[in-house]
C-alpha cells in the first residue's frame, strides 16, 4: 500500500480544512464549549438579522388587520378572531402565538388572547401614544421601498417614485390626499415620543412662541402646548397639510393656541418666533440646502431666539449607531439629497450660521436634539 501527500494535506479536502471543522463541531456540540463558542460568535444573531423581515411582516400585518383595536375591546379566542377579522384558521394559531412571543399579545389559560401592556399603550389607534401610524406607513410604503436598496447601491438614485425625473418629494407626495394622510400619520408615530422629551429637555420657560417647520400632523406643537401652558405656536408646512394639522390639533382642544401657517420654506422667508424647530426635515436635503435653511431660521429669530433640530443623527460618542445608519439609508431611498448627518457636522452648520451656546443630547432610539441661540437676551425677559 502506498500513500501520497503529507498528513497535513490529507486533512484538506475540496478546500475544506477537515481538522478545523471537526474541532469547531466538537466545541459546538459540547455544553460548555458550545455555550462559550456562541458567546464569541453566535450564528443565531446573523440568522435573526437576515430573517428579521419575517417578524416585521407579522407585526405589520397585525396592524393592517386592526388586531390590536379588536383586542382593545376585550379578550378573544382564535375562533372569534378568525370570524371577526376574516382569517382562515390554518395560519391564525402560529400568527397569534408569534405575537405572544414578540411581547405584543398575551394568551390566557383558556387560550383567549389580549393585548400586552406595550400593545395597549402604543398600538391602540384611539390612544394619545399611538405609534402604529409609522407601522402602517411601513407596511404600505417603506417595506416595498427597501427592496430598492441594491439599486441605490448601484446607482445612488432614490427608489421613491416621488423623486423620479425632476420631481420634488414633498410637492409630489402631497398631491395624493390618501398618501399624504398616511405619510403624516406615520410621521406622528415617529415623532410623538421624541416630542414628549423635547418638551421636557429644552428650556422652554425662556421663550413664549415657537414655529415648527415641516410640522406634518403637529406632534411636536401639540406636546409643547400640552406641557407648557405659557407657550403659543404655529405649524408651518405646505398648504395641503392644513386640514390634517387642524383636525389633529382640534382633537386636543388646542386650536386657540396653535395656528397653521401655509408656505414653502424654499421660496419665502421663514415665519418668525422665539424658537424655530426642524424635525426630520433637514435630513432630506444636501448640506448646502441645510445651511440655507439654518440661515433663514437665524434671520427669522429675534435676538436671544433659538433654533432646534432633531433627527436620527449619528453620534460618534455612541457605541451603537445602527438605527441612525438604517435611517440614513431610508432617507436615501426616499430623497436624492438625503442622509443622516453626524452631530459634529450639525454643530458646525449651526455655528457657521451664527448660533452660539450650541448643545446637544440624545432623545430616544436613533434621534438626537441639537439647539443653538442667536446672540442677545432671552426673548421672555423683554416682555
pLDDT of residue 354: 98
Annotated active-site residue in 228, 283, 362, 371 = 283
Domain total for the chain? 3
pLDDT of residue 18: 78
Tell whether 31 and 61 lie within a shared domain. no
pLDDT of residue 1: 47
Tell whether 187 and 71 lie within a shared domain. no
Tell whether 26 and 62 lie within a shared domain. no
Give per-residue pLDDT as tens, 68-119: 999 999 999 999 999 999 999 999 999 999 999 999 999 999 999 999 999 9
Q: Are 119 and 129 in contact (CB under 8 A)?
A: no
Residues of the chain with pLDDT under 70: 1-16, 24, 27-28, 33-34, 37-38, 41, 382-383
Tell whether 31 and 65 lie within a shared domain. no
Three-state DSSP state, 360: strand
**Parent domain of 22:** 7-41
Nearest to 125 by CA among 65, 68, 58: 68
Helix (H) or strand (E) run with residue 258 in it:
strand 258-262
Angle, CA of 247, 161 and 291, to the nearest 5°: 75
169 found inside a domain: yes
CATH number at residue 69: 1.10.10.10
362: left (phi over 0), alpha (psi -120 to 50) or beta: beta
CA distance 345 to 287: 9
pLDDT of residue 207: 97
Q: What nine digits make up the cell of 239? A: 398648504
Q: Taking every pair of C-alpha atoms in the chain, what is the biggest distance, in angstroms?
A: 104
Nearest to 214 by CA among 276, 147, 268: 276
CA distance 314 to 324: 6
Give per-residue pLDDT as tens, 118-136: 999 999 887 777 888 888 8
CA distance 370 to 365: 15
Note if 88 is an active site residue.
no
pLDDT of residue 132: 84
pTM for the structure as a whole:
0.83
258 found inside a domain: yes
Tell whether 231 and 295 lie within a shared domain. yes
2 found inside a domain: no
Q: Give Cβ neighbours of residue 198 (< 8 Å, ≥ 6 apart).
A: 220, 223, 224, 308, 310, 363, 369
Locate all alpha helices (DSSP H) within the chain, ordered by sequence. 7-10, 18-29, 31-40, 43-50, 52-64, 67-72, 78-85, 89-101, 117-122, 132-137, 143-145, 149-155, 169-173, 177-201, 219-227, 242-250, 287-300, 322-334, 343-353
16-17 and 12-13 strand pairing: antiparallel
Nearest to 163 by CA among 154, 155, 173: 173
Tell whether 372 and 229 lie within a shared domain. yes
Tell whether 240 and 348 lie within a shared domain. yes
Tell whether 137 and 91 lie within a shared domain. no
Tell whether 161 and 64 lie within a shared domain. no
Other beta carbons within 10 Å of 114:
15
Tell whether 114 and 142 lie within a shared domain. no
Tell whether 298 and 355 lie within a shared domain. yes
Nearest to 373 by CA among 357, 349, 350: 357
Other beta carbons within 10 Å of 217:
26
Range 282-285 contact pairs with CB under 8 angstroms and sequence separation of 24 or more? 282/309, 282/311, 282/341, 282/346, 283/311, 283/312, 283/327, 283/328, 283/331, 283/338, 283/339, 283/340, 283/341, 284/169, 284/331, 284/334, 284/335, 284/337, 284/338, 285/335, 285/337, 285/338
Tell whether 252 and 369 lie within a shared domain. yes
Amino acid at each position: 500500500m502506498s500513500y501520497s501527500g503529507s498528513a497535513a494535506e490529507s486533512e484538506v479536502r475540496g478546500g475544506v480544512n477537515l481538522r478545523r471543522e471537526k474541532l469547531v463541531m466538537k466545541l459546538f456540540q459540547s455544553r460548555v464549549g458550545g455555550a462559550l463558542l456562541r458567546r464569541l460568535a453566535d450564528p443565531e444573531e446573523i440568522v435573526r438579522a437576515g430573517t428579521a423581515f419575517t417578524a416585521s411582516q407579522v407585526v405589520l400585518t397585525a396592524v393592517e388587520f386592526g388586531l390590536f383595536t379588536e383586542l382593545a375591546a376585550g379578550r378573544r379566542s382564535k375562533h372569534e378572531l378568525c370570524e371577526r377579522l376574516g382569517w382562515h384558521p390554518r395560519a391564525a394559531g402560529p400568527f397569534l402565538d408569534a405575537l405572544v412571543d414578540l411581547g405584543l399579545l398575551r394568551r390566557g389559560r383558556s387560550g383567549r388572547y389580549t393585548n400586552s401592556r406595550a400593545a395597549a399603550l402604543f398600538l391602540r389607534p384611539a390612544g394619545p401614544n399611538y405609534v402604529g401610524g409609522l407601522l402602517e406607513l411601513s407596511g404600505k410604503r417603506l417595506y416595498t421601498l427597501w427592496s430598492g436598496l441594491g439599486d441605490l447601491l448601484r446607482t445612488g438614485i432614490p427608489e421613491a417614485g416621488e423623486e423620479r425625473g425632476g420631481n420634488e418629494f414633498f410637492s409630489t407626495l402631497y398631491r395624493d390626499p390618501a398618501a399624504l394622510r398616511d405619510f403624516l400619520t406615520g410621521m406622528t408615530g415617529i415623532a410623538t415620543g421624541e416630542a414628549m422629551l423635547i418638551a421636557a429637555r429644552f428650556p422652554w420657560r425662556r421663550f413664549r412662541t415657537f414655529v415648527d417647520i415641516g410640522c406634518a400632523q403637529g406632534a411636536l406643537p401639540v406636546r409643547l402646548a400640552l406641557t407648557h401652558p405659557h407657550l403659543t405656536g404655529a405649524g408651518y408646512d405646505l398648504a395641503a397639510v392644513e386640514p390634517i394639522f387642524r383636525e389633529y390639533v382640534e382633537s386636543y382642544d388646542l386650536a386657540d393656541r396653535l395656528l397653521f401657517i401655509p408656505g414653502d420654506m424654499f421660496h419665502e422667508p421663514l415665519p418668525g418666533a422665539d424658537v424655530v424647530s426642524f424635525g426630520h426635515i433637514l435630513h432630506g436635503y444636501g448640506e448646502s440646502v441645510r445651511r440655507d435653511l439654518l440661515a433663514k431660521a437665524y434671520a427669522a429669530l429675534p435676538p436671544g431666539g433659538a433654533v432646534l433640530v432633531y433627527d436620527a443623527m449619528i453620534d460618534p460618542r455612541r457605541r451603537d449607531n445602527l438605527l441612525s445608519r438604517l435611517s440614513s439609508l431610508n432617507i436615501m431611498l426616499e430623497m436624492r439629497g438625503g442622509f443622516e448627518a453626524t452631530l459634529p457636522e450639525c454643530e458646525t452648520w449651526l455655528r457657521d450660521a451664527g448660533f452660539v451656546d450650541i448643545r446637544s443630547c440624545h432623545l430616544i432610539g436613533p434621534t438626537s436634539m441639537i439647539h443653538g441661540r442667536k446672540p442677545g437676551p432671552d426673548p421672555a425677559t423683554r416682555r
